[in-house]
A and B are shown apart, each in its own frame.
Chain A
């Protein structure tokens, strides 16, 4: 087997040194009745060309990957600079281990430190960790952290948080004393109903709001931190479209205590849902309660500056059952990809991408609004996603768009909200051209 350096002859030699006559003897400590006495019922070895052909065949049956698409809802299509994928494939980055031995891991540690800094700048927060698995698990961890800090169990959650994120939170808190209450949204604006904030109480650990929310609406975060703090609760903000950090006022400025986000938009492929990248940022006073890995500055005895993983005692391998989380891996290579993306796009590029997203989505919204029979049900401001209401069934119209025009027009909201039969969520990014948008509008007109 070509990945195994030692030839059968070399292995036989080594067995002799150990006083064994066959490989089977290596396993003599495994009782006979447990030993597998037949080969595994899986394929025989395939050569490279065969594996490639097989995989390409599978890939070719993912026709959605080639369609013009307006899908968003937590995973987004964005340009990724060519150098991102090249640089992350450097051996020293992608075949490296977790930087527990800093002397031989300064490359990894330095980019994590840069990543943490960039996340702070984008979110307006004081400290950020080395990443979480994704936005959904980052949100669950944020709630657990708020519960630890406040020693309270209740969570007040906006209904307009991504439905899958809510599901993950439910699973994470299933066997604890957590109680989740919801803030409803206004049918006209798509914004959360401020009246529902009256549910905040002395038992609330945190108030959780997503902005832009699942319907694409930018929430007015003004005053929410103060409301939460008035009952001693923390204010958690969730962001699923990280490009929005390039243009929108930061959650930090609005007084957020914890900000979590999905950063797949930063140069990471959609890849059918993973691996993606969770961001987690908070205030310095909470840093010891923050889950995940952290890189910090340290000096050697000659005064040379370096980086180390620090505050490791919060992690599972030291605190064990008292750990702030059971998380072990982070998403290091994805964090590297995002860091390279952000540094390449830079101060100007990121703002420009955000600006183009807003403009193209605004254009699409305007054109669709002009169509008879179609409407934009929510009046709130949007970033690059918005809801469209169709005459009749959204599922049917989207299906026809796909089968007759080969366009994936968006996401039928009935997938998560069965009662919303006429609505679908459309996302327009810098990757959608004017031609594609015009064509979509034209087809929608034909399908009415």
Chain B
């Protein structure tokens, strides 16, 4: 199970990378493995605002669908258009090429309530 050190993690299996006031989010390796072959990714529109833990889109595989929750409050400033044509990137590179949404955030403090890599690893051991 791939769990990069430099990221933060939510209980819903999203990862977050913070750079100043811009947060990049996607779904974790565990999430893509559970879903199977990804066939479609539905992303929010630029400008949409979300509170923490609100559904902002969804990831679909052949047999299942899962909502994407924004781990923190923010406004969508960029979405990854590549996922339209190549949803399989979520399977092959969930932390890199398959980033999903970039948010401009208000409260950097909210990041503290997310799990570290070690905490997420522990969380996975306990729940699965």
Chain A positions near chain B (C-beta within 8 angstroms): 288, 312-313, 318-319, 322
Contacts and interface: CB of A to CB of B under 8 A. Distances in A.
B40 A318 contact: no
Contacts of B40: 288
Given A313-B64, A313-B65, 14 more contacts: A288-B40, A288-B42, A312-B62, A312-B63, A313-B60, A313-B61, A313-B62, A313-B63, A318-B63, A318-B64, A318-B65, A319-B65, A322-B65, A322-B67
A319 B60 CA distance: 10
Nearest to A314: B65
Contacts of B67: 322
15 contacts: A288-B40, A288-B42, A312-B62, A312-B63, A313-B60, A313-B61, A313-B62, A313-B63, A313-B64, A313-B65, A318-B63, A318-B64, A319-B65, A322-B65, A322-B67
B57 to A, nearest CB: 12
A151 to B, nearest CB: 12
B110 to A, nearest CB: 26
A319 B42 CA distance: 14
A318 B65 CA distance: 7
Contacts of A312: 62-63
Nearest to A320: B65
Interface in B17-42: 40, 42
Contacts of B63: 312-313, 318
A322 B67 CA distance: 10
A261 B42 CA distance: 30
Contacts of A318: 63-65
A222 to B, nearest CB: 32
A308 to B, nearest CB: 9
B83 to A, nearest CB: 14
A98 B61 CA distance: 21
A313 B63 CA distance: 6
Interface in B39-58: 40, 42
A124 to B, nearest CB: 26
Question: Of residues A288, A313, A319, A322, which shows the largest number of chain B Cβ atoms within 10 Å of its Cβ?
Answer: A313
A310 to B, nearest CB: 8
Nearest to B40: A288
A446 to B, nearest CB: 65
Contacts of B42: 288
A184 to B, nearest CB: 37
Nearest to B60: A313
A432 to B, nearest CB: 50
Q: Which 3 A-B pairs have the closest CB atoms?
A: A313-B65, A313-B60, A319-B65
Nearest to A317: B63
A288 B40 CA distance: 10
A312 B40 CA distance: 12
A287 to B, nearest CB: 10
A333 B123 CA distance: 49
A388 B32 CA distance: 64
Contacts of B62: 312-313
A113 B62 CA distance: 19
Contacts of B64: 313, 318
B66 to A, nearest CB: 10
B45 to A, nearest CB: 12
Nearest to B64: A318
A319 B64 CA distance: 7
A295 to B, nearest CB: 15
Interface in B61-120: 61-65, 67
A313 B62 CA distance: 7
Question: Of residues B61, B63, B65, B67, which shows the largest number of chain A Cβ atoms within 10 Å of its Cβ?
Answer: B65
B55 to A, nearest CB: 9
Nearest to A310: B62
Nearest to B58: A322
B93 to A, nearest CB: 22
B117 to A, nearest CB: 30
Nearest to B61: A313
Contacts of A322: 65, 67
Nearest to A308: B62
A312 B61 CA distance: 9
A288 B63 CA distance: 14
Contacts of B61: 313
Contacts of A313: 60-65
B92 to A, nearest CB: 20
A322 to B, nearest CB: 7
Contacts of A288: 40, 42
Question: Of residues B42, B60, B61, B63, which shows the largest number of chain A Cβ atoms within 10 Å of its Cβ?
Answer: B60
A417 to B, nearest CB: 44
Contacts of B65: 313, 318-319, 322
A329 B125 CA distance: 39
A243 to B, nearest CB: 37
A288 B67 CA distance: 15
A318 B64 CA distance: 6
A380 B22 CA distance: 61
A122 B64 CA distance: 33
A375 to B, nearest CB: 55
